[in-house]
Chain A
Amino acid sequence: MPAFCRDCLVPLETGPRCPRCRSFRVARHPELFDLSIAHMDCDAFYASVEKRDNPELADKPVIVGGGRRGVVSTACYIARIRGVHSAMPMFRALKLCPDAVVVKPRMNVYAEVSRAIRSMMDELTPAVEPLSLDEAFMDLTGTARLHGAPPAVMLARLVRRMRDELGVTGSIGLSHNKFLAKIASDLDKPNGFSVIGQEETLDFLAEKPVSMIWGVGASGQAALDRTGIRTFSDLRRWEERDLIARFGSMGHRLWHLARGQDIRRVSANTPVKSISNETTFHEDTGDAEILDGHLWRMAEKVADRAKAKRRAGRVVTLKLKRADHSLITRRHALREPTQMADTIYATARHLFDQVGQNGRYRLLGVGISEISDAADADVSGDLLDPQAAQRRAAERAADSIRARFGTGAILKGRAMR
């Protein structure tokens, strides 16, 4: 059976250990050298970067997240043992793990590490599809001749390089499609290497819960649950047309996924559909000035990202979460796409005013969608707002000052609120 040592990357015959480096970390699978769709997922990425940069944290439980009121972005594996997981409210995480060190996220550092990982992945294949800063799909089909090694070995080399050069670890899932590769990467975390072959696909999925399907959230699961579908075998008992009748277009996908079939390609440039930013406040607030300050900062962040990507959006969305966690979203379509913070802010501000003073809020978010190229953005002026052109010019000027002297070099007064 094909096998190799994940530490020294040499092929093996039999036995549980590598004869050369005595490592137990051996990848072995009948289809090991035939599979080429992979999912790479970094292990507790933000927390690992923090531990790398501050060795004192190495043996402490570390939680990366925003303040007491925020949620956990990432918890390191020590904190995870205590039951902390990402998206958990911080107060609950700290109740479970009072001695945790809470670190504020340093997104630009993570983004830098992510870029380094990306360039390593780009060396393996042009078909890299990042899902976020710390995970990506890769299609290594047909690269074995070029690299002189099968995809599995190249992937093991990738995570080894990430560990050696960047100080972060990742887990690899290797299979014959994206759906299974993503499931596989989660099977053996951290520092894992899992393979799901063609041969075993049906048996592997049989008794697994359908909640494994990416995109089936709590409500989707509840809907499946009501029809008595809990596992993949349950799902397989359904006819395709019945699933479609019940779940719409998702039904078609469910039928195929039940059989471990997924024809989605690994696509290097999935178009951006929206750009958004949101923040959970340190404490609930109904203060108009404070909320206005948040509105501006969110609008500015969205604009910054749009400008960085050379993109613009025609629809502005405002998202608010009340103190009781109920959600309000409002959207407004502009006549032409924009990437200006000034316009995004003014539109979001208008949407905010339409919602009216509605008590206290815990979260505010601003986003743009219906994304298009920056060349189509902000092309016409407004007769009734002759200053708009000047404000745009001022924003561009402030952008170039920030590009040269740093993000804090120049700020709007309302950003300080």
Chain B
Amino acid sequence: MKFSIERGTLLKAVSQAQSVVERRNTIPILANVLIEAEGDQVQFRATDLDIEVVDKTPAQVERAGATTVSATMLHEIVRKLPDGALVTLVDDSAAGRLSVEAGRSHFSLATLPKEDFPVMASSEYHSNFSAKAPELRRLFDKSKFAISNEETRYYLNGVYMHVADGEEGRALRCVATDGHRLARIDAALPAGAEDMPGVIVPRKTVGELRKLLEDDEMDIAVSVSETKIRFATPDITLTSKVIDGTFPDYTRVIPQGNTRKMEVDASDFARAVDRVATVSSERSRAVKLQIDDDRLVLSVNAPDSGAAEEELAVAYSDERLEIGFNAKYLLEIASQVDRENAVFLFNSAGDPTLMREGNDTSAVYVVMPMRV
């Protein structure tokens, strides 16, 4: 195998590969990227056995062939090469080495045989549809903060993507929750997605997917089966297993009868929460909200470190309310609001609170209060 490729193109392909490979693995080949050169293009394939990413890119191929090499090491090398350099990769399978040359730099990297590289079994996909990159970006960006890290409830370690009845008809919906907050984001249902099975897309896949969604004009081909999901652009294909579990019935969690409405400028609110939370103790980070007659007082009282208070003008006409929240959760939820005011709907100090952006019901957030 021998081919030449521009440094920037190579870096993009290799950096996607190195973020997929498992850092600490016991199977050496899983640290490698499979490089296959044929015709006038080169394909980079990396996997951690749960996610597989294939990146196709044009190159000047002199001699077709394939080999595998450490993804992180190749990435580090390419990263350190000067911008605009032409990189030539030559495989010497007899010596078990891949040589990487650029200008006066020469590297020789150990390879492992391509036959040992695990290729993810292909599978039948139930439904195939096309979605706009910005739509998918919104679905996952606004929900991913609520993904749980808790291993005990592994079925919460991802975003639940499914078809649901939204406020404005059938919707493609993403839900994530860790039991303390929940995000429910809807998008118009793309044609062909009607019969899509609901799947839990793992956290790492959500992170990798994000890199495919930068281009606003791009259409993403989405394929879904009971066990796998695939996102593809003309160049990159991301295939991932989905979490094998049942996502809990989140609809019961979203409060319906919260009537005490408070409207506040989202960014003013977020900044005030951030300021008062400075004095809170690392452990609990509780912020108290006292709301009375268009007036919101945010306060933190940490006996060991200090106290803080800040007042904000809000729209609120219900009876006086005192409620506590984890400052981090409040901040994260408030920072999801892009343009509109944040609308909070409370019930009591012990019940879940609902938040949405203005009157937009396509993005709904729920946060659990804490005792203060």
Interface residues of A (CB under 8 A from B): 332, 335-337, 347, 350, 372, 376, 378-386, 389
Residues of A within 8 A of B372 (CB): 379
Give the CA-CA distance A379 to B179 in the complex, in Å: 13
Complex interface: stretch among B32-40, B194-202, B335-343, B362-370: B362-370
Give the CA-CA distance A382 to B283 in the complex, in Å: 18
Looking at A332, A347, A383, the one whose CB has the most chain B CB atoms below 10 A away is: A383
B350→A336 contact, CB < 8 A: no
- Please, which residue of chain A has its CB at the minimum distance from the CB of B152? A350
A384→B370 contact, CB < 8 A: no
B284 close to A (CB within 8 Å):
yes
Give the CA-CA distance A87 to B14 in the complex, in Å: 60
Residues of chain B at interface, number, CB under 8 A: 25
Interchain Cβ contacts under 8 Å between A and B, 13 examples = A335-B150, A376-B283, A380-B369, A380-B371, A381-B352, A383-B177, A383-B182, A383-B352, A383-B368, A384-B156, A384-B253, A386-B253, A389-B350
Instruction: Please pick, from B253, B324, B371, the residue contacting A383 in the complex, using a CB distance under 8 A.
Output: B253
- Please, which residue of chain B has its CB at the minimum distance from the CB of A372? B283
Give chain B nearest CB distance to A392 CB in angstroms: 11
- Please, which residue of chain A has its CB at the minimum distance from the CB of B153? A384
B248 close to A (CB within 8 Å):
yes
Known: A381-B350, A384-B253. A332 touches B177 (CB 8 A): no
Give chain A nearest CB distance to B287 CB in angstroms: 12
Instruction: Please pick, from A332, A337, A372, A379, the residue contacting B152 in the complex, using a CB distance under 8 A.
Output: A332
Give chain A nearest CB distance to B13 CB in angstroms: 38
- Please, which residue of chain A has its CB at the minimum distance from the CB of B352? A383
A384→B371 contact, CB < 8 A: no
Within B322-372, the residues touching A (CB, 8 Å) are 324, 326, 350, 352, 366, 368-372
Instruction: Please pick, from A372, A379, A384, A389, the residue contacting B248 in the complex, using a CB distance under 8 A.
Output: A384
B284→A381 contact, CB < 8 A: no
B210 close to A (CB within 8 Å):
no
Instruction: Please pick, from A337, A372, A380, A383, the residue contacting B370 in the complex, using a CB distance under 8 A.
Output: A380
A381→B253 contact, CB < 8 A: no
**A-B pairs, 8 with minimum CB distance:** A380-B370, A379-B371, A379-B370, A382-B179, A383-B253, A384-B179, A381-B368, A350-B152
Residues of B within 8 A of A332 (CB): 152
Residues of A within 8 A of B179 (CB): 382-385
B286 close to A (CB within 8 Å):
yes
B271 close to A (CB within 8 Å):
no
Give the CA-CA distance A384 to B148 in the complex, in Å: 12
- Please, which residue of chain B has its CB at the minimum distance from the CB of A381? B368
B326→A380 contact, CB < 8 A: yes
Give the CA-CA distance A276 to B171 in the complex, in Å: 50
Residues of B within 8 A of A382 (CB): 179-180, 368
Instruction: Please pick, from B248, B284, B350, the residue contacting A376 in the complex, using a CB distance under 8 A.
Output: B284
B369→A381 contact, CB < 8 A: yes
Residues of B within 8 A of A376 (CB): 283-284
Known: A332-B152, A384-B177, A385-B179. A379 touches B366 (CB 8 A): no
Task: Provide the main secondary structure of the chain A interface.
Answer: mixed
Interface residues of B (CB under 8 A from A): 150, 152-153, 156, 177, 179-182, 248, 252-253, 283-284, 286, 324, 326, 350, 352, 366, 368-372
Residues of B within 8 A of A381 (CB): 350, 352, 368-370
Give the CA-CA distance A230 to B112 in the complex, in Å: 52
- Please, which residue of chain B has its CB at the minimum distance from the CB of A380? B370
Task: List 16 extra interface pairs beyond A376-B283, A379-B284, CB under 8 A.
Answer: A335-B180, A372-B283, A378-B371, A379-B324, A379-B371, A380-B368, A380-B371, A381-B369, A382-B179, A383-B179, A383-B180, A383-B352, A383-B366, A383-B368, A384-B253, A389-B350
Give the CA-CA distance A381 to B324 in the complex, in Å: 12
Give the CA-CA distance A378 to B181 in the complex, in Å: 16
B286→A379 contact, CB < 8 A: yes
Give chain B nearest CB distance to A347 CB in angstroms: 8
Residues of A within 8 A of B152 (CB): 332, 347, 350
Give the CA-CA distance A350 to B150 in the complex, in Å: 12
Residues of A within 8 A of B352 (CB): 381, 383
Residues of A within 8 A of B177 (CB): 383-384
Give the CA-CA distance A373 to B349 in the complex, in Å: 22
Give chain A nearest CB distance to B330 CB in angstroms: 12
Give the CA-CA distance A383 to B150 in the complex, in Å: 14
Give chain A nearest CB distance to B213 CB in angstroms: 28
Give chain A nearest CB distance to B332 CB in angstroms: 15
Looking at A337, A376, A380, A382, the one whose CB has the most chain B CB atoms below 10 A away is: A380
B180→A380 contact, CB < 8 A: yes
Give the CA-CA distance A332 to B370 in the complex, in Å: 22
Looking at A332, A379, A384, the one whose CB has the most chain B CB atoms below 10 A away is: A384
Give the CA-CA distance A337 to B284 in the complex, in Å: 10
Give chain A nearest CB distance to B220 CB in angstroms: 30
Looking at B179, B252, B286, B324, the one whose CB has the most chain A CB atoms below 10 A away is: B179
Give the CA-CA distance A383 to B179 in the complex, in Å: 5
Known: A350-B152, A383-B180, A389-B350. A336 touches B366 (CB 8 A): no
Residues of B within 8 A of A386 (CB): 252-253
Give the CA-CA distance A386 to B179 in the complex, in Å: 10
Give the CA-CA distance A347 to B152 in the complex, in Å: 9
Give chain B nearest CB distance to A255 CB in angstroms: 36
Residues of A within 8 A of B371 (CB): 378-380
Residues of B within 8 A of A379 (CB): 284, 286, 324, 370-372
Residues of A within 8 A of B370 (CB): 379-381
Give the CA-CA distance A85 to B17 in the complex, in Å: 63
Residues of A within 8 A of B286 (CB): 379
Give chain B nearest CB distance to A334 CB in angstroms: 9
B284→A336 contact, CB < 8 A: yes
Give the CA-CA distance A345 to B284 in the complex, in Å: 23
- Please, which residue of chain A has its CB at the minimum distance from the CB of B351? A381
Give the CA-CA distance A413 to B253 in the complex, in Å: 29
Give the CA-CA distance A383 to B181 in the complex, in Å: 7
- Please, which residue of chain B has its CB at the minimum distance from the CB of A350? B152
Give chain B nearest CB distance to A350 CB in angstroms: 5
Give chain B nearest CB distance to A415 CB in angstroms: 23
Give the CA-CA distance A194 to B182 in the complex, in Å: 66
Give the CA-CA distance A385 to B148 in the complex, in Å: 15
Residues of A within 8 A of B180 (CB): 335, 380, 382-383
Give chain B nearest CB distance to A386 CB in angstroms: 8
Give chain B nearest CB distance to A143 CB in angstroms: 33
Residues of A within 8 A of B324 (CB): 379
- Please, which residue of chain A has its CB at the minimum distance from the CB of B324? A379
Give the CA-CA distance A350 to B252 in the complex, in Å: 24
Give the CA-CA distance A311 to B92 in the complex, in Å: 65
Give chain B nearest CB distance to A21 CB in angstroms: 56
Give chain B nearest CB distance to A94 CB in angstroms: 43
Give chain A nearest CB distance to B208 CB in angstroms: 26
Give the CA-CA distance A372 to B281 in the complex, in Å: 13
Looking at B156, B284, B286, the one whose CB has the most chain A CB atoms below 10 A away is: B284
Give chain A nearest CB distance to B248 CB in angstroms: 5
Residues of A within 8 A of B181 (CB): 383
